[in-house]
Each structure stands twice: as C-alpha cells, then as structure tokens.
Amino acid sequence: MRRIIQVTETDSGQRIDKLLSQQLPELTRSAIQHLMQDGCVTIGEQPVKKNAKAAAGDVIAVEVPEPKEVSIEPENIPLDIVYEDEDIIVVNKPKGMVVHPAPGNWSGTLVNALMYHCGDSLSGINGEIRPGIVHRIDKDTSGLLVVAKNDRAHQSLAEQIQVHSAGRRYFAVVYGCPREENGTIQAPIARHPVDRKKMAVLAGGREAITHYQVLEHYQGYTLMKFRLETGRTHQIRVHMAHIGHPIIGDPLYGPAKDKWKLQGQCLHAGELELTHPVTGERMLFEAPLPEYFEKVLQKLRNQYGQV
C-alpha cells in the first residue's frame, strides 16, 4: 500500500518520522522508523534517513507492506484473563512465559495461547510473529499486558504507549536501599557493546525514563514501585543496576551469586491504566503479586523486618 504526503509550510522543519506518525495514525512512530530503515520512505525516489527533516513542497512516499499471513500454531495454553471484550484482552502473564515466538521459543508463548483463545480476532499490524501484541514484558517478568483484537484497537493502544498516556506500574525487590524515597532515573539505553544479550546505559542510546517509589525497607533490601514513562528493553532492570540496586534474581544485571534462586528477576507488572480504544473509558487493571513474590516478601519480613 502506497501513501503520499505533501509537506506544507506549517510542517516544514519537522522530523519526517514525527510528521508521518501524525499524518498516518495507523502507523506508530517506531513502525515508521523501521520502514525508513528498510528504504520504504522516499522523497523523489531517494530513501529518507531516519533523522531527516521535512521541507515545504516535499512529496513523501510511504510504502507500507501488506501484513504477512500469520503462521503461528495455536496452542491450548491456559490464560489468566483479567478483562476481555471484542476490542481488547488484558492478561496476567505468568513468570517464565515468553510473549511472542522467536528463535529458541517457537511454541508455548503468549501469542500461541492467544491464537488458540481468540482465533482470527487479533490485530495484524505487527506482522507475522506478533499478532495483537502492542507491548511486551520479559519472559521472567510476570504481570499485565493488553492485547489488541483488531487494527483499530492496536493503533489506539500503540499511540497511547507512544505518548505516555497509558500507565504501566511495576513492583520489584532490589538489593540495598536507595537514598531517596521517590525519584526519577533518566538515562539513555542501548544494546550492550560486548554482550549482545544485555542492554546498558550508554551515551547516544534511546531516551529512557523510570519513576520510582520506595514502599518498604528491609535490612539490605527494598520493595519498590516503578512507573515507566518510556518502554525500552529491560528498562527497569538496567536502570536499577545502573544506580547500584539491581533486582534480586536478575540473571543478567544482578550479582553473579544470587542466594534467592528465583529463576528470574523479582519483577511484576501489577498495574495497567489505559483509555479504551473504542468507548473512550479510562480503565485501571490490577494483578496481585504472584506467589513467588509474596514468599520473598514474607521471608524478608520474617528474617530482616522492616527498617
């Protein structure tokens, strides 16, 4: 599908990716940037660079590939459904479940389960291996995700996440005790230059902002609540390790020897707030702390007590 955008005097000087995300609401800014990288955004048949700015009179052509036919095997995997209607489904993902198929995890994922549960009622905007997926959480992070059941819902939810009007709040137990009870970590995140499985705080990385609140202090540990303003890969895990308070159980960013043996970080996406893409209703969803998380807290309270 080919879309043509004529740049006016009013729009002159804007970054093209931002302009296109405004002119083509069915595409997120991230999706447009991927199209630019693939040479699908052109001016005068010349590919547009990712950081290019528009000039009055430019005629921008955008080639949007047709969604690939989904080739995922539906699997009858139980889902903890928090809410569902004809437009969205909110699920409480368990620790250990991968969100979407990828090399090494082609089955047993949330998408496999959703394909079985929803059939053809999932948006196709994210292409072949991520039908309906608007945002994701790590394999060993538990908690809430919203999934789009049609393209209209997907576009609205993606836009809410992009402009930070969708609220995502997490809970975690970290090593040590941050000095401030409330604070903000603003540090850019990029792929680690040596270990490609990891992310890192690096100059020139993508903007990443995490707001935090201390809930309970223990001797050597802290229960914390986080609100994401951006959604970078491993964002909370990277930011907390960066300030010297990694999440317990974190195999990538925590200490090499972790006595908790949790098989993954103690991190839970406990609250999700969004505007319904069709009704416009503001909605808040909550998922209680999972059993493994409660056991950690009980042990801390019994052995160390609150400070």
For the annotated catalytic residues, the residue numbers are 138
SS3 296: helix
Beta bridge mates, 282: 275
149 with 157: CB under 8 angstroms? Answer: no
Show Cβ contacts of residue 216 under 8 Å, excluding neighbours closer than 6 positions: 222, 223, 297, 306
145 with 136: CB under 8 angstroms? Answer: yes
- In whole angstroms, what separates CA 2 from the centre of its chain? 29
Query: How many whole angstroms separate alpha carbon 260 and alpha carbon 299?
Result: 11
160 with 286: CB under 8 angstroms? Answer: no
Query: How many whole angstroms separate alpha carbon 175 and alpha carbon 180?
Result: 15
Query: How many whole angstroms separate alpha carbon 272 and alpha carbon 145?
Result: 8
